[in-house]
C-alpha cells in the first residue's frame, strides 16, 4: 500500500527555476506521464502571474485559434503550454513575441519527445530556448521518502519510474497502468508526432527489443523477423528513441590497436515497461527470468545518467569480448561502471586490462546490495546503487 503524503522532489527543480529566471522560453521535455506538468506547477505554484494551457483540452486549444491575439493579451504572465506538439504552427508566433520582448520566463512549453524532434518545429526559437529533460522517478528522488513509505530501490527497479505506476497501491494496478500506457503510446502518441508506423508492427518491434534488452543491435536479424527492410528497423528505433522509450547506447571510440565493436546497445529505458512487455508478473518471476541481469543493468544506467545528465554515455567492448558496461565522459574526465546482478560479482579476466586502456578517474561495480562497498585489486569499487549514486553527487 502506498502511503505517500507529499510531493516527490525532482532533481531538476533547480535547473528549471534557473532557466525560467534567465531564458525567454523553457522547454520541459520527457516521456508522457513522467511528471512534467506536476513539476512545472510545483515550481510556479507561488507565482500569481502564471497561465496554464493544456492543448489536449479542446477549450484550451480553441483559445489559441488566434495565438498572437491571445498571447498578447497575457503578455505580462508566464504562459505554460502543455502538449505543445498539438499546435506546431505556434512556434513562429512565439519567436515573434519573444523578439519583441525578451524578458526571462515568458513561456514554458511541455513536450513529450526529444529535443531533436522539437527542434524540427522550434528551430525559429534558436538562441531563445533552454531544454530541461525530465525522466521518470529515479531512486535519489524517492529515497528521502523511502522509510516512511516502506520503499527500497528494488521497488523502483521492479515498478519503473513512471509516477502512476510507482505510486500505485499494488502490483496489479501498477501493471494495468503500464499496459494502458503502452497501448496509448502506440495508438495515440506515435501518430500525434506525425510518425506513420502501424501499431501492431511497432508492438512486435518493441517486444523484440525487450527480449534483446542490453544486447548489441542486430538490425538485419530484426528486419528479417519483421519482414521489413534494414532501413525500416532503424526508423522504428528512431521513433522509440526520440520519444524516450528506448536508450541507444553508442560504443566508445578510442584510437588503439584493438578491434572495437561498432554496433550500439539498446535498452528499454523504463524497467516497469520492460517487465510489462515481457509479461513478467512478479519480482520473484523476474529473479528467474533470463532478462534478470540485463534488467538490473538497464535500470542502473537510467539511475546514473539521470543523476549526472551532463556526462555523455558510451559502452566499451572489443571483438574479443573485453567490455565495460558504461563509460561516462565530460571533457577530459572519464568514469567507468560495470553492473552485476549478484552479491558475489565475477569479473572477466580482461576487466583490469580494459581499465588500463580507458584510465577512468573512478570505477564502480554496481550490485543489488545495501551493505557498504569495498575495493578490488583492479582499483574498482564494488558497491550498491545507493552508495554509487551518493558518490556521483560530487560529479553532478
As averages over each run of 10 residues, the pLDDT of the chain (396 residues) reads 69 95 95 94 90 95 96 95 89 93 95 72 76 96 91 96 94 96 90 77 95 95 92 92 95 70 92 98 95 98 95 90 93 96 88 91 96 92 96 92
The set of cell numbers assigned to 112 is 513529450
pLDDT at 22: 95
| Distance, CA of 229 to CA of 154 (rounded, Å) | 39
Contact 237, 221 (CB under 8 A): no
* Per-residue confidence (pLDDT) for residue 348, from 0 to 100: 85
**CATH T-level topology, domain 139-395:** Arc Repressor Mutant, subunit A (1.10.10)
Give strand pairing partners of 144: none
What residues contact residue 304 under an 8 Å CB cut-off, 6+ apart?
326, 328, 337, 388, 389, 392
- Looking at residue 121, its pLDDT comes to 59
* Superfamily grouping for domain 13-133: P-loop containing nucleotide triphosphate hydrolases (3.40.50.300)
- Residue 197 has a pLDDT of 78
User: What's residue 1's pLDDT?
Assistant: 44
Instruction: Give pLDDT, residue 5.
Output: 53
**H or E stretch covering 312:** strand 312-317
Report whether 385 contacts 138 (CB < 8 A): no
What are the residue ranges spanned by the domains of the chain? 13-133, 139-395
Q: Identify the pLDDT of residue 140.
A: 95
Among residues 78, 80, 84, 71, which one has the least CA distance to residue 118? Answer: 84
Q: Shortest CA distance to 316 belongs to which of 361, 268, 351?
A: 351
User: For the chain, give me the number of helices (H) and strands (E)?
Assistant: 20, 14
End-to-end CA distance of the chain: 33
Amino acid at each position: 500500500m502506498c502511503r505517500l503524503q507529499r510531493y516527490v522532489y525532482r532533481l531538476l527543480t533547480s535547473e528549471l527555476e534557473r532557466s525560467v529566471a534567465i531564458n525567454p522560453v523553457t522547454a520541459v521535455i520527457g516521456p508522457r506521464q513522467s511528471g512534467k506538468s506536476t513539476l512545472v506547477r510545483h515550481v510556479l505554484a507561488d507565482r500569481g502571474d502564471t497561465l496554464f494551457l493544456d492543448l489536449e483540452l479542446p477549450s484550451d486549444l480553441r483559445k489559441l485559434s488566434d495565438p498572437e491575439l491571445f498571447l498578447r493579451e497575457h503578455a505580462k504572465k508566464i504562459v505554460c503550454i502543455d502538449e505543445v506538439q498539438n499546435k506546431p504552427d505556434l512556434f513562429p508566433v512565439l519567436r515573434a513575441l519573444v523578439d519583441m520582448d525578451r524578458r526571462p520566463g515568458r513561456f514554458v512549453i511541455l513536450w513529450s519527445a526529444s529535443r531533436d524532434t522539437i527542434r524540427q518545429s522550434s528551430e525559429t526559437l534558436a538562441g531563445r530556448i533552454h531544454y530541461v529533460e525530465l525522466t521518470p522517478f529515479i531512486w535519489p528522488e524517492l529515497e528521502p521518502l523511502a522509510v516512511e513509505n516502506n520503499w527500497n530501490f528494488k521497488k523502483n527497479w521492479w515498478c519503473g519510474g513512471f509516477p502512476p505506476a510507482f505510486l500505485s497501491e499494488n502490483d496489479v494496478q501498477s501493471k494495468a497502468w503500464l499496459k494502458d500506457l503502452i497501448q496509448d503510446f502506440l495508438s495515440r502518441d506515435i501518430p500525434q508526432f506525425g510518425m506513420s508506423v502501424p501499431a501492431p508492427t511497432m508492438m512486435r518491434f518493441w517486444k523484440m527489443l525487450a527480449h534483446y534488452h542490453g544486447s548489441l543491435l542486430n538490425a538485419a536479424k530484426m528486419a528479417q523477423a519483421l519482414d521489413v527492410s534494414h532501413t525500416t528497423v532503424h526508423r522504428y528505433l528512431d521513433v522509440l528513441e526520440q520519444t524516450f522509450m528506448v536508450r541507444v547506447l553508442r560504443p566508445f571510440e578510442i584510437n588503439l590497436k584493438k578491434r572495437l565493436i561498432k554496433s550500439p546497445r539498446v535498452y528499454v529505458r523504463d524497467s516497469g515497461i520492460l517487465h510489462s512487455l515481457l509479461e513478467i508478473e512478479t519480482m520473484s518471476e523476474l529473479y528467474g527470468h533470463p532478462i534478470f541481469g540485463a534488467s538490473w543493468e538497464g535500470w542502473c544506467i537510467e539511475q546514473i545518467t539521470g543523476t549526472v545528465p551532463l556526462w555523455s554515455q558510451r559502452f566499451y567492448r572489443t571483438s574479443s569480448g573485453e567490455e565495460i558496461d558504461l563509460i561516462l565522459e565530460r571533457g577530459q574526465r572519464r568514469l567507468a561502471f560495470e553492473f552485476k546482478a549478484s552479491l558475489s560479482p565475477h569479473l572477466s579476466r580482461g576487466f583490469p586490462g580494459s581499465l588500463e586502456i580507458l584510465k577512468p578517474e573512478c570505477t564502480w561495480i554496481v550490485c543489488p546490495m545495501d551493505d557498504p562497498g569495498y575495493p578490488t585489486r583492479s582499483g574498482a569499487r564494488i558497491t550498491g546503487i545507493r552508495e554509487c549514486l551518493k558518490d556521483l553527487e560530487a560529479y553532478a
